[in-house]
Chains A and B, each alone.
Chain A
Amino acid sequence: MIRLEDVSKTYRTDRIETRALDGIRLNVDKGEFVAVMGPSGCGKTTLLNLMGLLDVPSKGRVVLDDRPVDTRRDRELSRLRNEKVGFIFQSFHLVPDLTVLDNVEIPLLYRAITGKERRRMALAALDRVGLSSRVHHFPTQLSGGQQQRVAVARALVGRPQLLLADEPTGNLDSTMGEEILGLLASANGEGTTVVMVTHDPRMAEHAHRIVRLFDGRQVQ
């Protein structure tokens, strides 16, 4: 599904050069559920950003669906993100000015889909996460767990092949966390490849495989 080949990422500011990732080789197969673990600052989020095409590697390359991603053109990258990838963030990142329904529709906005169809798909996704009764609420009117469920619905609504979750349970208590993880597992059961960054071993247990990072290097 996605392959990182010798990927390094270096951040440069005026004087300091920080190496966030160093020579990572990683292959995630279709249908896998991979957990990425490691201490804070080891490059987990950078890894996820590279996989999600939010960032480009300094060295090496990313191969998505057997096709190397060698473009840096904004429109190309945007299209790939839109079609193949879904994101879930630790702090939910729902747009506060939009209702739950409008938030879930966001990924569909950038595809050629009619408004009616968009609405139908968004409602179906919300139904799946059990929030059909809250579609016209604003994010601030929801609990943390509910907000993250909206985020999951938003990540899944476009039927991405790859779901990237960055500490999806980090801001939630364990019951809520389990609930969210259950949603990820069920998406995985339907064939979606899932890559999740976490530092909670109990959450990582749900994964097929655990990748450990330390100081920008893969240790396992």
Chain B
Amino acid sequence: MLRSYLKLAWKVLLRRKFFTFASLFGVAFTLLVLTVATALLDNVFAPHPPETRSARTLGLYGLAMLNGQSGVIGNPGWAFIDRYMRDLPGAEKVAVLQQTRKVDSYVGGQKVSSWLKRTNGAFWQVLDFDFVEGQPYTEDDERQARPVAVINETTRERFFGNGPAIGRLIEVDGQRFRVVGVVRDVSFLRVTPFADVWVPISTARSDAYRREYVAQFTALVLADPSRFDALRAEFASRLASAKPPDPKAHFAGALESYFAYTSRSMFSPRQEAAHPAMLGSALAFLALLFMLLPAINLVNLNLSRILERSGEVGVRKAFGASSRTLIGQFVVENLVLAFLGGALGFVLSSVALLIINRWGPIPYAQLTLNLRVFLWGLLLAAAFGLLSGIYPAWRMSRLHPIEALRGRSW
């Protein structure tokens, strides 16, 4: 049955070229936009290198110090992490990193702007960077405040041309560092690990950061997922009994994924309630909102096709097709269209991503279509096909066979 449906759908599509073109254009374009958006989100949130261990990582991304209606809201500070995040049960490593900052250097009189990130030594064990040469700096380097740096390939090229960079000196933010490792470029969209140059936190020019509770750090805890509950519970209890510098205030924050944190900071800026599902729902709503116009368009095209095909509907009914069978036939026809359009949209979006990667405004963008994005695209195409196929199919099945045969629905 399904095979003959598919055959029929294929024939109908071939016979009505303008209709097919108009529908395919709509579907392909819709899925192009959705796929590009999905690829962007996938690039921000999904486990891409160097964040391949994100299933085994919990982060403290946001921290608020609240006092009644007022408060300081930001990221955790070094003092907080140092005081409350040591020896968490089950924690294998704790990476501490500062938010990336834009700094300037001068290479032969030319200004070079780079993104600088200060991290501890464990950072390189929690995250999985791809080293082209050399190796990361260690926890000992951090303790001794050795002026060493890891740089990315683009920075190596900017400062040293194509040659090896290990052991050479690089001057950023007015300080000199010895290069110990070179890693592949990390996309700007990977907010947590992204930088051009990574150096130990302790090389900061002032140790003022050591006294901050709410500042610009992030802590990543590497642990076995089975220990996550215990970890979170321990952290929550430490948070509850923590003593902020302002005795009337209290801390708010949680160990969570980057997606959950993004959702929380969007829907609960004061970091109090957790809304991990809300960002997902909001994205789904936006996708549906965007699909609204294309769906109405396709429904309209389908409806007028059905009226044109009312004779066919009449014949099929006369020869024993039930309403349900006809709905099935039509929905399959529409799904075929949606998947064809989806495939086309997929090809187009790979071109669009290439263009964005090459000429777009995102540094080191590595937007790609992977299996995950493909599956999302498939799901969206199916949702779109159903959304735009069910109503016309229902209308079609409701045609009275006698009226349909007369073909005079006007």
Contact = CB atoms under 8 A, between A and B. Distances in A.
A82 B319 contact: yes
Contacts of A99: 11
A43 interface: no
Given A54-B401, A95-B312, A102-B11, A109 B323 contact: no
A78 B321 contact: yes
Contacts of A79: 320, 322
A62 to B, nearest CB: 15
A176 interface: no
B16 interface: yes
Interface in A62-82: 74-75, 78-82
Given A74-B323, A82-B320, A102-B11, A93 B3 contact: no
Which of B312, B319, B320, B322 has most chain A Cβ within 10 Å?
B320
Interface in B313-354: 314-325
Contact of B319 (A94, A102, A158): A158
A98 B281 CA distance: 44
A87 B319 contact: yes
Contact of B4 (A52, A55, A81, A109): A109
A189 interface: no
Interface in A99-126: 99, 102, 105-107, 109-111, 115, 118
A10 B314 CA distance: 21
B404 to A, nearest CB: 10
A75 B317 CA distance: 10
Interface of B is mostly: helix
B316 A54 contact: no
A54 B12 CA distance: 26
Given A95-B315, A97-B312, A83 B401 contact: no
Given A93-B311, A109-B1, A78 B320 contact: yes
A52 B317 CA distance: 11
B315 A106 contact: yes
Contacts of A54: 317-318, 401-402
Nearest to B14: A97
Contacts of A95: 309, 311-312, 315
B127 interface: no
Contact of B318 (A52, A102, A105, A115): A52
Contacts of A75: 322-324
B312 to A, nearest CB: 4
A82 B8 CA distance: 19
Which of B309, B315, B323 has most chain A Cβ within 10 Å?
B315
B94 interface: no
A153 B83 CA distance: 88
A63 to B, nearest CB: 19
B405 interface: yes
A90 to B, nearest CB: 10
Contacts, number: 80
B320 A98 contact: no
Given A93-B405, A97-B11, A97-B15, A106 B311 contact: no
B398 to A, nearest CB: 10
A79 B317 CA distance: 10
A49 interface: yes
Interface in A47-64: 49, 52, 54-55
Contacts of B405: 89, 93
Given A97-B15, A98-B11, A102-B11, A81 B320 contact: yes
A207 to B, nearest CB: 22
Given A55-B402, A93-B311, A97-B12, A106 B317 contact: no
A102 B5 CA distance: 12
Interface string A183-208: 00000000000000000000000000
A11 B1 CA distance: 36
A94 B15 CA distance: 15
A98 B318 CA distance: 17
A3 interface: no
Contacts of A118: 4
A154 interface: yes
Contacts of A96: 15
Contacts of B321: 78, 82, 106, 109-110
B16 to A, nearest CB: 7
A93 B315 contact: yes
Contacts of A105: 4
Nearest to A109: B4
A159 to B, nearest CB: 13
B320 A107 contact: yes
A148 to B, nearest CB: 14
Contacts of A80: 320
Given A54-B402, A97-B15, 9 more contacts: A80-B320, A93-B314, A95-B309, A95-B312, A98-B11, A105-B4, A106-B315, A158-B319, A158-B320
29 contacts: A54-B318, A55-B402, A74-B322, A78-B317, A78-B320, A78-B325, A79-B320, A81-B318, A81-B319, A81-B320, A82-B319, A85-B320, A87-B315, A87-B318, A89-B405, A93-B314, A93-B405, A95-B311, A95-B312, A95-B315, A97-B12, A97-B15, A98-B11, A102-B11, A105-B4, A106-B315, A109-B1, A110-B320, A110-B321
Name the 9 nearest CB pairs between A and B, nearest first: A82-B320, A78-B322, A107-B319, A95-B312, A81-B320, A97-B15, A75-B322, A87-B318, A110-B320
